[in-house]
Chain A
Amino acid sequence: MRKSTTPRRRQAGVAVVALASLLAAGCSSAVNQAEEATASGGSGECQQGGTVVAANSSAPEVSRVFAQSATNLLWVRAVFEPLINVSTAALDDPQPALATEWEISDDGLSAVLQLREGVTFHSGRAFTADDVVFTIQQALDPATVSDVKAILAGWEVEATGEHEVTITSATPLTDTLASTLALTPIVDSESYAGLADGSQLVGTGPFTVESYTPGADIVLAKNTDYWQDGLPYLDRIESTTIGDSTAQVSSLRSGRAQLSSGLTVQDALSVTEGSPQFELLDTINGTYPIILDAVEDQRVRQAIGYAIDKDRINEQVFGGRGTTDGLYWAAASDTYPEDLAGAYDYDPEQARQLIEEAGAAGTEVPITIINLPVIAAEYEIIANNLTEVGLTPSLTALAPPDYQQRLSAGTGGNFLSLRGLNGSPSFLLQTNADLRLEGAHRQFDTPEYTELATAVIEATSPEESAEAVYELTEYMNEQAFLHSLVTAPGAAVQATDLQDVDVVLGGWVPAATCYTE
């Protein structure tokens, strides 16, 4: 019996070794396969070809192509192009996309745009002015999600030539035209019905949709008929969903992903600090304000502004990548009132004094937040700060569906918010739910605010606009119904051998992105 077991054991041993060898041989192929899909690079000229795996923390939402959405950041501008591109770092320097040039009338109430000729949709159909008219009509549909619907509602868009469009508006276009068009990418009238469920995603962009798995990924292939000669460089983009931040880090470090968005700031910093392989990528600028609708006494609202240590929030929550000027406006805007920045710099003594004057020591300050890690971390510091000056903060953390429902219903309260800074003050005053005059989520509303905000919206010259913004900002600082705490770019990481990863309103424009030789 014993003699017979020895060969069996040997056979088993050989089988185990063989299996392990097979696995080892096979294993290298799986890892190598992923690495070979991307082209290796260094510093030098752009090379044609290669695949980028772009990981995003939230799944693509094809029904939201007309919105600035983190979910679509890494694919939508590869497929759907707007007339004008605007970068959040240079809001007043719009760049031509499907429109080659545009001219705004002296009164600001009309604009004529010349459209690019020789552009075709992925279906092969030529792009014309009628597509612009169709796109604006669809964006205005009540059930369409569009960030700029309020502005578009005041527009009349007419095709005044095969490649010319004329827009007339009820309010001046001077400060709003570029951002509005940048957030309204052109869709194809023939396949528009398929956009709702993602069965047909047809645009004019540098990449065509090869496959779309709802909730998981979108795979894009190079558009060989793209209107820009020699572009795009990349052959393929795989925009995949990796919800967990740690898993995103793992996908970067293991070489699977070359671009990653939506991971926590701490994880982004841990991957990039001291790394020759990865670097931080700034995406869309957002502002993180606190809205104080449930604090009636103006002095207490001001005290809260002084009490919150914005620099600490910036350092601890945003890794020091943000700014804490206390203004709601983008510093990249021409009308930014620099003199009024820092009105509520951290001053706990001043806060205590104001609270004492108001007789509000111990007053409860209920704060509602959306249950996201960044906002929760922000709240922890705010709660600590408010307690230090003698107030009593309390927390209501809500899941996104509940939070958004409550805010849109205008039920008021104090809440921590997160908004994109996608345009000039005039643009924000018409589109941003914290600021706009109609359908706002905030409850603070006075005739003075309406008058000053209207003056900004109706300003036609840069001087007039700057003056109106200054006056409105002074009033907002005085009333303190909201405090912008930190303005920071979205956290993203890119591989250093990727070049020209340009992010504009709407998302990453991958036409010029390439691996370097």
Chain B
Amino acid sequence: MTRFLIRRIPSVALVLVATSVIAFLLPRLVPGDPAAVVAGPDASAETIAAIRTELGLDRPLVSQYFDWIGGLFTGDLGQSLRFNRPVSELIGDRLVSTLELALLSGVLLIVFGIGLGILAGSTRSRWARVLVEGTNTGLLAAPPFLVGLLLILLFGVAFRVLPTSGEVAVLDDPGIGIQYLILPALALALPMSAGVARLVQTRMLAVRQEDFIDLAVSKGVPPRRIDVRHVLRNSLGPAVVAIGIRFGDLLAGAVVIEAIFARNGLGQLAVSGAQSADYTVVQVLIVGAVFIAVIGQLLTEVVLAALDPRVRLG
């Protein structure tokens, strides 16, 4: 595996360099001036010019880019144009919030996705299967924001049992923090888990038709053992790939869910950064998101190799 990871370094580096150039240029190609936002609606052209100079936006683009890249290597992510604070500090303030949400959502995605998939793919009762498939189809059709709003109406307004707005860090107060996290994590994970469940179900049904399953049955292998050791294990490959891809979606979906549940995470930082042309924040978040996606893909390949002996890393 080490050789596999080392071989991937050049391509990962190339992706990140290309991303950094795009992330740097893209926000600047969009019309608009961050100095005008900082200056406010009544500002004169003179005030805006003075602010632009103070923010360093009047320097050549190439110089701004290399200053930023140079800073990245020394751990300096730059300075927010809007808040005049280090970008690393802004991200640090929100990272825990988004990680908590992404991790719990990830766990729920795996539990519900694989759980529902196994139920749908293995249940013998017709009614049970209809129930599971119905649930699955309903979740597949419901986007996270809709699930979020329904959860708020149900558990926050009709029956006030869980908080629907704000957040408390789990590390600060695990008991309270987890309650603030449950509804947003469910809203994010449930719709995505339906896609994973459908993959697991379809694959399980297909694997059941394979010759080696008939062989195992004829050899008298107990049904539970066939389900777990043969059918399920051989059905998880596509689900693992889907979960790997969905992990990136979790971060993207967090933008909407954070807004609905009033959580101040990285998603909200990205949105406000884009709205106010806070280039320095947006460019770091873009590169960070691509970096996480690349790592996610590498991990997916490693897990796939562990699940399927035919897949070799190299």
CB within 8 A of B262: which of A55, A62, A147, A213? A55
Q: Which of B204-218 contact A (CB under 8 A)?
A: none
Interface presence of B84 (CB below 8 A): yes
Is the beta-carbon distance between B80 and A214 smaller than 8 angstroms?
yes
Q: From known contacts A31-B163, A67-B40, infer whether A240 and B80 are also in contact, taking CB-CB under 8 Å.
A: no
A408 touches B48 (CB 8 A): yes
| CB atoms of A251 and B262 under 8 A apart | yes
The verdict on A28 contacting chain B, using a C-beta distance below 8 Å, is yes
Contact B85 A198 (CB under 8 A): yes
Which of B85, B149, B176 is packed against the most chain A CB atoms within 10 Å?
A: B85
Q: A191 in the interface, Cβ–Cβ < 8 Å?
A: no
Contact mask for chain B residues 13-28; partner A; CB cutoff 8 A; 1 contact, 0 none: 0000000000000000
B210 to A: closest C-beta gap in Å: 26
Nearest CB in chain B to that of A144: its residue? B47
Report the minimal beta-carbon distance from A218 to chain B, rounded to whole angstroms.
12
Residue B202 at the chain A interface, CB threshold 8 Å = no
Closest chain B CB from A439 CB (angstroms) = 3
Is A27 in contact with chain B by the CB < 8 A criterion?
A: yes
Known: A142-B50, A256-B163, A439-B46. A243 touches B268 (CB 8 A): yes
Interface check B188, CB cutoff 8 A: no
Q: A250-B152, A398-B31 are in contact. Are A26 and B165 (CB under 8 A)?
A: no
9-residue interface stretch from A43-51, A154-162, A399-407: A399-407
Q: Is the CB of A401 within 8 A of B277?
A: yes
Given contact pairs A242-B262, A405-B36, A30 touches B180 in the complex (Cβ within 8 A)? yes
CB contact between B260 and one of A24, A213, A244, A402 (< 8 Å): that residue = A244
Query: A128 in the interface, Cβ–Cβ < 8 Å?
Result: no
- Residue of A with least CB distance to B177: A30
Closest to A400 in B: B37
Q: Which residues of chain A (241-263) have a CB below 8 Å from chain B?
A: 241-244, 246-248, 250-251, 253-257
| A342: chain B residues within 8 A (beta carbon) | none
> Are B45 and A247 within 8 A (Cβ)?
no
Asked if A29 contacts B32 (CB within 8 A), the reply is no
Q: Does B42 lie within 8 Å of A433, measured CB to CB?
A: yes
Q: Please indicate which of the listed interface residues B42, B44, B48, B276 has the most CB atoms of chain A within 10 Å of its own CB.
A: B42
The 8 Å CB contact of B90, one of A28, A150, A215, A250, is: A215
Q: For residue B27, which residue of chain A has the nearest CB? A: A401
- Closest-by-CB residue of B relative to A257 is B165
Q: Is the CB of A215 within 8 A of B269?
A: yes
B166 — which chain A residues lie within 8 A by C-beta? 34, 240, 251, 256
Tell me the complex Cα distance, A143–B54, Å: 7
Q: Which residue of B lies closest to A1 (CB)?
A: B222
Instruction: Compute the total of residue contacts between A and B using a CB distance below 8 Å.
Output: 195
Whether the Cβ atoms of B39 and A408 lie closer than 8 Å is yes
Stretch at the interface among B107-115, B131-139, B154-162, B227-235: B154-162
Contacts of B80 in A (CB 8 A): 214
B272 near A404: Cβ-Cβ < 8 Å: no
- A55, B178: Cα distance in complex, Å: 22
The one of A250, A419, A438 that contacts B41, using a Cβ cutoff of 8 Å: A419
Q: Which residue of A lies closest to B174 (CB)?
A: A26
How many angstroms from the CA of A436 to the CA of B268 in the assembled complex? 36
Please give, as numbers and ranges, the residues of chain B lying within 8 Å of A26 by CB-CB distance.
175-176, 178-179
- Considering only residues 1-51 of chain A, those with a C-beta below 8 Å from chain B are 23-24, 26-31, 33-34
B100 at the interface (CB under 8 A from A): no
The complex places the Cα of A147 from the Cα of B40 at a distance, in Å, of: 9
With contacts A143-B47, A215-B272 known, is A246 near B149, CB below 8 A? Answer: yes
Give A135-183 interface residues, CB cut-off 8 Å to B: 142-143, 145, 147, 149-150
Q: Which residue of A lies closest to B160 (CB)?
A: A31
- Cα A407 to Cα B37 in complex, Å, equals 12
Q: Is B66 an interface residue (CB 8 A)?
A: no
Do residues B83 and A214 form an inter-chain contact, with CB atoms below 8 A?
Answer: yes
Query: Could you tell me the distance between the alpha carbons of A217 and B264 in the complex, rounded to whole angstroms?
Result: 9
Q: Are B33 and A28 in contact (CB under 8 A)?
A: no
Q: Is the CB of B277 within 8 A of A250?
A: no
Asked whether B47 lies within 8 Å of A243 as measured between CB atoms, the reply is no
How far, in whole Å, are A64 and B83 apart by their CA atoms in the complex?
10
Which residues of the other chain, A, contact B269 by a CB distance below 8 angstroms?
215
- Contact residue among B85, B161, B178, B276 (Cβ-Cβ distance under 8 Å from A24): B161
Q: Which residues of A contact B40 (CB under 8 A)?
A: 64, 67, 69, 145, 147, 404
Q: Let me know if A240 and B262 touch, CB within 8 A.
A: yes
Distance in angstroms between the alpha carbons of A398 and B160 in the assembled complex:
40
Complex Cα–Cα for A433 and B180 (A): 44
Closest to B55 in A: A143
Say if the beta carbon of A432 comes within 8 Å of chain B: yes
Taking a contact as CB atoms under 8 Å apart, the answer to whether A215 and B259 are in contact is: no
Shortest CB–CB separation between residue A148 and chain B, in angstroms?
10
Closest partner residue, chain B, to A5 (CB atom): B224
Report Cα–Cα, A145/B36, bound state, in Å. Answer: 11
**Inter-chain contact B54/A399, CB cutoff 8 Å:** no
Q: Does B94 contact A (CB under 8 A)?
A: yes
Question: CB distance B161 to A28 under 8 Å?
Answer: yes
A142 touches B36 (CB 8 A): no
Closest to B149 in A: A246
> Is B203 interfacial (CB-CB < 8 Å)?
no
Q: Does A494 interact with chain B (Cβ within 8 Å)?
A: no
Answer whether residue B34 sits at the interface, using C-beta atoms and an 8 A cutoff. Answer: yes
Verify if B261 is at the interface (C-beta below 8 Å from A). Answer: yes
A433 to B45, Cβ gap below 8 A?
A: no
- CB within 8 A of B179: which of A27, A147, A242, A404? A27
Using Cβ atoms and an 8 Å threshold, which residues of chain A touch B165?
242, 247, 250-251, 254, 256-257
| A399-439 contact mask (Cβ, 8 Å, vs B): 1 or 0 | 11110110111100000001100000000000111000011
Q: Is the CB of B275 within 8 A of A400?
A: yes
Q: Is A210 an interface residue (CB 8 A)?
A: no
B142 CB, nearest partner CB in chain A, Å: 16
Complex Cα gap A408–B39 (Å): 10
Contact, CB under 8 Å: A197 / B85:
yes
Top 6 A-B residue pairs of the complex, sorted by shortest distance between their CB atoms = A401-B32, A439-B44, A251-B165, A142-B50, A214-B83, A402-B32
9 new A-B contacts, CB < 8 A, other than A243-B272, A432-B42, are A30-B175, A30-B179, A64-B38, A213-B93, A214-B89, A256-B164, A399-B275, A399-B277, A402-B31
Can you pick out 18 interface pairs between chain A and chain B where the beta carbons lie within 8 Å of each other?
A27-B161, A30-B179, A31-B163, A143-B50, A143-B53, A145-B39, A145-B40, A150-B44, A215-B268, A215-B272, A244-B259, A247-B259, A256-B164, A256-B166, A400-B275, A405-B31, A405-B36, A418-B41
Q: Which residues does A use to contact B, with CB under 8 Å?
A: 23-24, 26-31, 33-34, 55, 59, 61-64, 67, 69, 142-143, 145, 147, 149-150, 196-198, 213-217, 240-244, 246-248, 250-251, 253-257, 398-402, 404-405, 407-410, 418-419, 431-433, 438-439
Q: Which residues of B contact A (CB under 8 A)?
A: 30-34, 36-48, 50-51, 53-54, 80, 82-85, 89-90, 93-94, 149, 152, 156-157, 160-166, 168, 175-176, 178-180, 182, 259-262, 264, 268-269, 271-272, 275-277
